[in-house]
Amino acid sequence: MTDMSIFVAVQSDDFCVASEYNELRRQSGCGAIVTFSGLVRELSDNQLHSMTLEHYPGMTEQALTAIAEQAQQRWQLGAVHLIHRVGSLKPHEQIVFVGIASPHRAAAFAAGEFIMDYLKNRAPLWKKEHTSNGDYWVEAKTSDQHALTRWG
Amino acid sequence: MIKILFFAALRERLDCEQYLLSCDGTMLQVTDILQQLQSRCHSWQQELSRSDLLCAVNQQLVPLSANVQDGDELAFFPPVTGG
- At residue B45, the pLDDT reads 97
Higher local confidence (pLDDT), B71 or A28? B71
Beta strand pairing call for B2-6 and B73-77 = parallel
Helix axes A59-74, A105-122, angle to 10 degrees: 150
DSSP-derived letter for residue A44 is: S
Give pLDDT tens digits for A134-148: 999 999 999 998 999
Answer whether A95 sits within 8 Å of B83, measured CB to CB: yes
- At residue A40, the pLDDT reads 97
- At residue A3, the pLDDT reads 67
Q: Under CATH, what is the fold of the domain A5-151?
A: Aldehyde Oxidoreductase; domain 3 (3.90.1170)
Comparing A11-25, A36-50, B39-53, the range with the smallest average pLDDT is A36-50
- Per the domain annotation, does B50 fall within a domain? yes
Q: How many structural domains is chain B composed of?
A: 1
Nearest to B57, CA basis, from B22, B33, B81: B33
Contacts of A123 in chain B (CB under 8 A): 80, 82-83
Task: Examine the pLDDT at B18 and tell me if it is beyond 90.
Answer: yes
Nearest to B10, CA basis, from B62, B59, B81: B81
- At residue A29, the pLDDT reads 66
Q: Residue A43: which pLDDT band, with cuts at 50, 70 and 90?
A: confident
- Per the domain annotation, does B73 fall within a domain? yes
Residue B20: which CATH number?
3.10.20.30
- Per the domain annotation, does B83 fall within a domain? no
CA angle (A23 as vertex; A108, A71 as ends), nearest 5: 30
- Per the domain annotation, does B19 fall within a domain? yes
- Per the domain annotation, does B82 fall within a domain? no
Taking the Cβ of residue A136 and every Cβ of chain B, the question of whether any pair is shorter than 8 Å is answered with: no
Q: Report the alpha-carbon distance of residue A116 to residue A103 in Å, rounded.
A: 20
Q: Report the alpha-carbon distance of residue A21 to residue A100 in Å, rounded.
A: 9
DSSP A86-130: -EEE-TT-EEEEEEEEESSHHHHHHHHHHHHHHHHHHS-EEEEEE
Name the 3-class secondary structure at B57.
strand
Contacts of B81 in chain A (CB under 8 A): 120, 125-127, 137-140
Please give the average per-residue pLDDT across B12-31, as a whole number.
92
Query: From the CA of A8, how many Å to the nearest CA of chain B?
Result: 14
- Per the domain annotation, does B54 fall within a domain? yes
Answer whether A96 sits within 8 Å of B9, measured CB to CB: no
Task: Examine the pLDDT at B83 and tell me if it is beyond 60.
Answer: yes
CA dihedral of A65, A72, A23, A10, whole degrees rounded to 10? -10
| Burial class of A150 by CB neighbour count within 10 A (0 to 12, 13 to 18, 19+) | exposed
Which residue range forms the structural domain that includes residue B46?
2-77
ipTM above 0.85, yes or no: yes
